[in-house]
């Protein structure tokens, strides 16, 4: 499979126009994290180096075709002294498949500081990788993510928080050393953040296999981190209904620092025939 460096190697083809590469995929539709990551790289290429992304809000509009490149059109919405805003539209075959707004903040501002405490979780070293746990019919997903190490905390080792409807914890990291550039780690995490999150809505419905597909995706980046080091993805699904599920995630490093937060809504429809990838929430609608 393609490395994350290859996936995020977006090409500038004109002012404010970029092309995201396509590579052979085991999925029938483009993975949502790939579209979001390439869109964020495109936006970053139009922003001065003094500014770093602190939030993004995206909507998956149409299924992406993994066999052809996507073109990303960047609108320079605002260039301020402290904040820069970009809007990105991902296009395939003349139709928008993804739209995203991203906000960038200049470094060096001072202000109040606090964060949630990292929840208790067993360390990743004693957990089995997700690839080891998957049955043979999941081989396409295992191969698609062979460069990523994902380890789900077993239910009997999960410290449950009272009042939360559905909970899940996943340790994840990129398996190979990445460049030191923090922008690259942020874009890699944008890719990784779409992994497993919709699954947190299914953990309390083990015998139900709904159609799962990302509808929207929002992220906030709080502190520097490395995507090639272990990160704890603490996930919850506060509500599901009307064929949709809301999911939320907090991402901590091994030092207990909250480095990012994620909110995503996805399809959770039942009563329709789905492909394997749709069942596990790996593709856009």
149 is catalytic: no
Catalytic residue among 42, 214, 235, 278: 214
Catalytic residue among 34, 169, 264, 278: 264
User: What are φ and ψ of residue 55, in 5° steps?
Assistant: -160, 155
167-174 and 83-92 beta bridge pairing: unpaired
Catalytic residue among 42, 92, 194, 211: 194
101 is catalytic: no
Do residues 92 and 284 make contact, with C-beta atoms less than 8 angstroms apart?
no
Contacts of 273 (CB under 8 A, 6+ apart): none
42 is catalytic: no
> DSSP class of residue 118?
P
Cα dihedral 262, 66, 276, 194, rounded to 10, equals -10
> DSSP class of residue 134?
S
Alpha helices, H only, the chain: 4-7, 32-44, 130-133, 139-144, 182-192, 276-279
- 3-class secondary structure, 137: helix
| Residues designated catalytic | 194, 214, 264
């Amino acid at each position: 499979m393609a490395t994350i460096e290859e996936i995020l190697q977006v090409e500038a083809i004109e002012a404010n126009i970029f092309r995201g590469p396509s590579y052979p995929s085991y999925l029938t539709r483009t993975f949502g994290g790939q579209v979001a990551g390439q869109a964020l790289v495109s936006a970053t290429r139009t922003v001065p180096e003094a500014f770093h992304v602190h939030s993004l809000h995206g909507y998956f509009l149409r299924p992406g075709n993994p066999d052809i490149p996507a073109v990303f059109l960047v609108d320079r919405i605002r260039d301020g002294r402290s904040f820069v805003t970009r809007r990105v539209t991902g296009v395939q075959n003349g139709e928008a498949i993804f739209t995203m707004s991203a906000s960038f903040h200049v470094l060096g501002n001072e202000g109040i500081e606090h964060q949630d405490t990292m929840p208790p979780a067993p360390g990743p070293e004693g957990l089995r990788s997700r690839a080891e746990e998957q049955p043979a019919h999941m081989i396409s997903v295992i191969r698609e993510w062979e460069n990523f190490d994902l380890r789900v905390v077993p239910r009997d080792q999960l410290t449950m928080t009272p009042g939360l409807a559905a909970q899940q914890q996943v340790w994840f990291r990129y398996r190979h050393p990445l460049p030191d550039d923090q922008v690259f780690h942020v874009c890699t995490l944008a890719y990784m953040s779409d992994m497993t999150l919709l699954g947190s809505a299914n953990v309390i419905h083990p015998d139900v296999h709904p159609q799962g597909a990302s509808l929207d995706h929002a992220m906030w980046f709080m502190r520097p981190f490395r995507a090639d080091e272990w990160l704890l993805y603490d996930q919850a699904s506060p509500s599901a209904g009307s064929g949709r599920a809301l999911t939320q995630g907090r991402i901590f490093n091994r030092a207990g620092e909250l480095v990012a937060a994620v909110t995503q809504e996805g399809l959770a429809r039942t009563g329709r025939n789905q492909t394997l990838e749709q069942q596990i929430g790996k593709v856009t609608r």
